[in-house]
Structure formats: structure tokens, C-alpha cells
């Protein structure tokens, strides 16, 4: 890592905490603005799933599908979010995992604990999250994001929230 492209663990953690806050505050358009134009967002359905093309995924969105997902979440009449979920995310154990093939994408690994409350029910999700971050001027952008839910192969009863 050199000069302006350097990423510190503290910088990465601050970025991931900011991302979690945007999601907790339902600022989905702002969250989408963190992603690059050629991004992907993946939640595998199997532990240690190597590729989204091997089997069905819980979520596998390119930028266009992610925009559609965010647009749907912004619809105040979305049946699956009546009433709206309230969420709280904790991001921890942030580590720098190196660059992809020496290029501009820095791999970040973290742990996520997400609590969702809706219709008098509370659900808890735990995951290892992976982010591919790039510098865009003075800010980070998400080139890709993978969320490995601990219970990815369990009964999940409809996922509408973002991780």
C-alpha cells in the first residue's frame, strides 16, 4: 500500500461503522452511494460457498439489482416492511486482509451482529462480512460485499433487510 491508497484498520473500521449507521437509520440511498458502479453484493446460502454461480444464493445483486432492492425498501407501502423493521448493527473485529492481486481493492474482514425487531418479534443475525474497498478521491467505496451468515443454510423466514 502506498501513500494516499493506504488503508488503516482504524479507517476501515470507521467506514464500516458509518455503513452500519446508514442502514440502521434506513438511509438506503446514502448506503447505495457507498458502492461503485460495477459493484456486487452477495449473501451465500451455504457455508463456505465458493461462488454465487455454484448454487442459489440468499442474495446476489449487481449494481442494477441493488438499486432495485433499495428502491423497493424506500417504498413506504412495501408489504414485507409493514411495519418497518428497526435494526441495530454492531461491527467489530475489523482486520485488513490484503489487496486483491496487488491492485486497488483492499479486502476487509469484520464480524457483524444484527438485531432486527418487527411485529413484536426480534431476530438476531451473526455474520462474517467481507468488503472490497477502493479509494475514490479521499473516500472509500465498496467494490464488493460478501456477508457469510452463521445460519445461512437455516430457516430464515424471508429476508428483506440489508446486512
- Write down the pLDDT at residue 2: 45
Cell numbers standing for residue 7: 488503508
Per-residue pLDDT of the chain (163 residues; tens, 9 = 90+): 445 567 899 999 999 999 999 999 999 999 999 999 999 999 999 999 999 998 999 999 999 999 999 988 877 666 666 677 899 999 999 999 999 887 889 999 999 999 999 888 899 999 999 999 999 888 999 999 999 999 999 998 888 889 9
- Write down the pLDDT at residue 96: 95
Neighbours of 41 (CB within 10 A): 21
Apex 153 CA angle, 80 and 94, nearest 5:
85
For residue 13, give the nearest of 111, 147, 135, 115 by alpha carbon. 111
Domains, the chain, ordered by start: 3-149 (3.10.450.50)
Q: What is the pTM of this model?
A: 0.91
- Write down the pLDDT at residue 101: 82
Rounded Cα–Cα distance for residues 155 and 61 (Å):
21
- Write down the pLDDT at residue 78: 60
- Three-state DSSP class for 100? helix
Cell numbers standing for residue 122: 426480534
Rounded Cα–Cα distance for residues 129 and 110 (Å):
5
Handedness of CA 127, 130, 133, 138 (dihedral sign): positive
Amino acid at each position: 500500500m502506498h501513500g494516499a491508497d493506504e488503508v488503516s484498520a482504524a479507517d476501515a473500521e470507521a467506514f464500516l461503522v458509518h455503513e452500519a449507521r446508514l442502514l440502521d437509520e434506513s438511509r438506503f440511498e446514502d448506503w447505495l452511494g457507498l458502492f461503485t458502479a460495477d459493484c456486487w453484493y452477495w449473501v451465500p446460502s451455504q457455508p463456505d460457498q465458493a461462488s454465487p454461480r455454484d448454487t442459489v444464493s440468499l442474495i446476489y445483486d449487481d449494481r442494477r439489482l441493488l438499486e432495485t432492492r433499495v428502491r423497493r425498501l424506500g417504498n413506504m407501502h412495501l408489504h414485507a416492511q409493514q411495519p418497518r423493521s428497526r435494526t441495530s448493527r454492531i461491527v467489530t473485529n475489523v482486520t485488513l486482509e490484503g489487496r486483491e492481486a496487488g491492485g486497488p481493492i483492499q479486502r476487509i474482514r469484520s464480524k457483524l451482529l444484527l438485531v432486527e425487531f418487527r411485529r413484536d418479534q426480534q431476530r438476531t443475525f451473526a455474520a462474517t462480512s467481507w468488503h472490497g474497498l477502493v479509494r475514490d478521491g479521499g473516500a472509500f467505496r465498496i467494490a464488493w460485499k460478501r456477508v457469510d451468515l452463521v445460519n445461512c443454510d437455516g430457516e430464515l423466514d424471508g429476508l428483506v433487510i440489508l446486512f
